[in-house]
Structure 1
């Protein structure tokens, strides 16, 4: 079974970003991935802000990333970039923490004016962390996700199609990956 981790860079579990997270988790469950979700905003703030590499919570989160073959990054867009909460955590990953992993960025934003946040803000940092297999990713408008009830979200059909297509890339990539033994 393929191991995956989702890094949730939102500031609450109640925002529309959670709809994107729910969709990613549903995909992983349906396709028999073993996965965990790291809610960055629930890690100790003092450890994130002070870059406490010795924090048990940070060490535990980093171990989840290290064990994963697939990393899905879920983040809102703020000021034409990914969230600061996410950045504080990414700064605490080992220098090559994403080496050998398939990475999928999923971004929520207020307008298509921020569509390039994946390519110009997020991908350079992911590459600096050793990622070489960064999948296309998806940008979803916040207006394309609606809270319905009981912590459930409804995703606009166009956004749902984009998410389904990029999530399918994860399945295809992990099926095609053949370990090279040296």
Structure 2
């Protein structure tokens, strides 16, 4: 079982959001948490296009998320919102798949003009699945260096904000684990 699921909503092969999400996953591993990365690119197109909520792949993703202690969801900004393929996947998951789970939203856009996309689009979507949204982090493309895999975030202020949100996320996950034990 993965304690943390990192869900990428980017359909791009060379995705800045994937780079940042993988970086966050590596930080979680350093903190002793198990991590499972799921990308919309890994989901069969037929399942997404035809809405096959009962497909083996969708059931597996739902099970992994339901059994996780926390979820990080990231997406690039497209037309002032999250990616359509992320929405297609989320539409196929059970309505309470994030029930009582801490969820850390992350969005990456081309400019600060879409800063509120995280507040007005992604957070409400995750809340509809009954997730407990944290503040989240919005990054701009220019703050990410695609050549730096180990730490792609170039802006020190954003890096500190990202680490702070990750710290809060881990703290909540650990407190929930302690209550269960």
> Do the structures match in fold with TM over 0.5?
yes
Report the Cα offset of residue 159 of structure 1.
Answer: 2.2
Partner of 2:73: 73
Partner of 2:153: 155
Partner of 1:103: 103
Partner of 2:83: 83
Uncovered stretches (5+) of structure 2, i.e. residues with no partner? none
Report the Cα offset of residue 176 of structure 1.
Answer: 2.9
* SS class of match (1:12): coil
- Give yes or no for contact 2:23–2:152 (8 Å, CA) kept in 1: no
* SS class of match (2:28): helix
Report the Cα distance in structure 2 between the residues aligned to 1:173 and 1:13, rounded to whole angstroms: 32
Report the Cα distance in structure 2 between the residues aligned to 1:160 and 1:115, rounded to whole angstroms: 16
Partner of 2:21: 21
Report the Cα offset of residue 74 of structure 1.
Answer: 1.1
- Give yes or no for contact 2:4–2:35 (8 Å, CA) kept in 1: yes
* SS class of match (2:72): strand
Partner of 2:52: 52
Uncovered stretches (5+) of structure 1, i.e. residues with no partner? none
Partner of 1:168: 167
Normalised TM-score (structure 1): 0.91
Post-superposition Cα deviations, 1:132-176, rounded to whole Å, max 9, x if no partner, equal x21000001110011226x56631122211211111111121233
Moved over 3 A (4+): 178-181
Higher helix share: 2
- Give yes or no for contact 1:76–1:107 (8 Å, CA) kept in 2: yes
Normalised TM-score (structure 2): 0.91
Higher strand share: 1
* SS class of match (1:17): helix
* Equivalenced residues, count: 179
* SS class of match (2:92): coil
